[in-house]
Amino acid sequence: MNAPTVRVLYIDDEENNLHAFKASFRRQYEIYIANSAAEGLKILQNVSVHVVIADQKMPQTTGVEFFKNIAETYPDPVRILLTGYTDIEALADAINHGDIYRYITKPWNDLELHNSIKNAYDAYKTKIDLRNKIAELEKTNNELNRFIYSISHELRAPLVSTLGIVNVVKLEGLFDENEYWRLIETCSNKLDYYIQKTLQYYKNNKNISEITPIDFSKVVPELIELYSYVDKETNFHVDIKQEETFYGDAFRIEVILGNLISNAIAYQKESEENKKVNITVSVNRSSAEITISDNGMGILNEHLEKIFTQFFKSKTNHGSGLGLFIVKEALNKIDGKISVSSDTTDGTTFIITIPNVK
Amino acid sequence: MLNKYRKVMLIDDNEVDLKINSKIITISKLFDEIILCKSGEEGLSYLNNHIDDEENLPDFILLDIQMPEMDGFEFLEVFKKFPKPLKDKCLIAILSSTLDFGDIKKAEASRYVIKLLKKPLFPKELEEVLNRYLIN
């Protein structure tokens, strides 16, 4: 018997109807009655009503006019209009401007009206629940944003300080005196890598995308510069054919190319003397096709299908299992495609196609 | 080219980073004197005290972004109001560990920031910036 209290306001200038209504429904609902729109408004001001029923034909203010008047001040209660068969115009007006949930013809049938009130209350509840859910989600989303910001700052700042200390040790020439320094550096770099990948994954997951013109002859060398900072042994050969303007999501494209370029550097054969990576970009009006091929250690045939899954790691490499997963996720967001061919003698080739969005 | 007497100001609330970065600058001999400030306010009051004392003004300021009370961007807002000669002399680079896209964009948009450097600071990177902007 814990049914919620449903508060119903009924406005009608005919006293008989008001009393009949109250007599029929007072057991199921908390009933408020008013014999004019003005009286009804007074009740709305004092009671939080769920369902409002108004008669159309009333002197001074009609039902539809009343609904129009309260549309902005009291948008939440669900409205039911009582009307005779003849009022087609009023009905059209009510639906178009009064935001009514249902209309009921007079004289009403108790069961029909009862069902309508019940449904109207459900609609009210759904509306309010949805609004609360949205507010809740907005709050969670804001918290998540703050959390991500603090990961990118509070968590990373001390880590970067640690790397700074290792740096000073190197400058002072003490780095090789004790192997622990190298271990600290390796661990710190690994942790930093995970933080950066987590951020990339999160940012990619957000649906915001900013479309800007992209000049591949600028972006590609910049990324190579960025990722070859630690390892200058690999030779890059870049060939870019871009005569059309290319529009795309700069952040995601940089994430995709950045991960592939850093992989191409990281998974070279140690014994290889001529480590090389070829990058070709060709842009036309509808898309850009990018090929990145290396002569590195290659990918085993049985692994090829799994490399884009999260946390996939092969025994021989020391990756995080996130890089190619993020590449694939980012491509999904911008309707891009990727294919890979690889063998352990000649190396790996990735071919990416990204649509030109304009 | 590096024998001209030059000063650098480090503004960072993190004392470990102040220590690390001043050490890196000392070892790499890129500056002759380092002014350490633990907050934006401290940096501003130093500049205020030496406003007409060009000799003692820093040639270069390395500014952190995330600091309590006054952050790097608020520092820049106040810096904007200094007289032109001071602004011309004291070049500013951001030195931060941030990966936040908003921070990076904001830093790049500021007309007083010549470069966004990422922590950890590498002497080579710093030297490149100095060669590019500080050779008179």
The tokens for A356 are 């030109």
Q: Is A79 helix (H, G, I), strand (E, B) or coil?
A: strand
A174 touches chain B (CB under 8 A): no
Question: Which of B18, B99, B100 would best serve as a mutation to test chain A binding (most A beta carbons within 10 A)?
Answer: B99
A156 touches chain B (CB under 8 A): yes
Alpha-carbon gap, residue B20 to A171, rounded angstroms: 11
CA dihedral over A182, A188, A191, A192, signed as positive or negative = negative
Residues of chain B positioned with their CB less than 8 A from the CB of A167: 20, 24, 120-122
Nearest chain B residue to A198, by CA: B99
Torsion, Cα B69 B70 B73 B76, to 10 degrees, reads 170
Residue B8: name the closest of B103, B126, B116 by CA: B126
What's the N-to-C CA distance of chain A in angstroms?
A: 61
- Distance (Å) from the alpha carbon of A172 to chain B's nearest alpha carbon: 8
* Domain-embedded: residue B41: yes
Check CB contact under 8 Å for A168 and B24. Answer: yes
* Domain-embedded: residue B125: yes
ipTM of the complex: 0.82
Predicted confidence pLDDT, tens digits, chain B (136 residues): 444 668 999 999 999 999 999 999 999 888 999 999 999 999 999 999 999 888 899 999 999 998 988 999 999 999 999 999 999 999 999 999 887 777 888 888 898 999 999 899 998 889 988 888 876 5
Check CB contact under 8 Å for A153 and B27. Answer: no
Residue B94: name the closest of B63, B71, B73, B61 by CA: B63
Place of tokens 């090389």: A276
A246 touches chain B (CB under 8 A): no
* Domain-embedded: residue B79: yes
pLDDT in tens, A71-83: 889 999 999 999 8
The tokens for A188 are 């710190």
* Domain-embedded: residue B1: no
Predicted confidence pLDDT, tens digits, chain A (358 residues): 466 799 999 999 999 999 999 999 999 999 999 999 999 999 999 999 999 999 988 999 989 889 989 988 999 999 999 987 666 777 787 777 778 898 888 889 999 999 999 999 999 999 999 999 999 999 998 888 788 877 777 888 899 999 999 999 999 999 999 889 999 998 898 888 888 888 888 878 776 778 889 999 999 998 898 888 767 788 999 999 999 999 999 889 999 999 999 899 988 888 888 899 999 999 999 999 999 999 998 888 888 888 888 878 776 666 777 889 999 999 999 999 999 999 888 899 999 999 999 7
Q: What is the pLDDT of residue B1?
A: 46
**Cβ neighbours of A226 (radius 10 Å):** 13
* Domain-embedded: residue B2: no
The tokens for B93 are 């680079």
A211-355: CATH superfamily: Histidine kinase-like ATPase, C-terminal domain (3.30.565.10)
CB A286 within 8 A of CB A356: yes
* Residue B97, domain extent: 7-133
- DSSP codes of every residue in A146-205: HHHHHIIIIIHHHHHHHHHHHHHHHHTT-GGG-HHHHHHHHHHHHHHHHHHHHHHHHHHH
E-state strands within chain B: 7-11, 33-37, 60-63, 91-96, 113-118
Q: Are strands A276-283 and A235-242 parallel, antiparallel or unpaired?
A: parallel
Check CB contact under 8 Å for A168 and B16. Answer: no
* Domain-embedded: residue B47: yes
CATH, residue B82: 3.40.50.2300
* Domain-embedded: residue B97: yes
SS3 content of chain A, % helix, strand, coil (to 5): 50, 20, 30
Residues of chain B positioned with their CB less than 8 A from the CB of A258: none
Residues in chain B, total: 136
A230 touches chain B (CB under 8 A): no
How many domains is chain B partitioned into structurally?
A: 1
Place of tokens 């952190």: B64
Third-level CATH fold of A7-108: Rossmann fold (3.40.50)
Nearest chain B residue to A199, by CA: B99
- DSSP codes of every residue in A198-251: HHHHHHHHS----EEEE-HHHHHHHHHHHHTTS---SEEEEEEEE-S-EEEEHH
Q: Is A329 helix (H, G, I), strand (E, B) or coil?
A: helix
Amino acid letter, residue A142: N
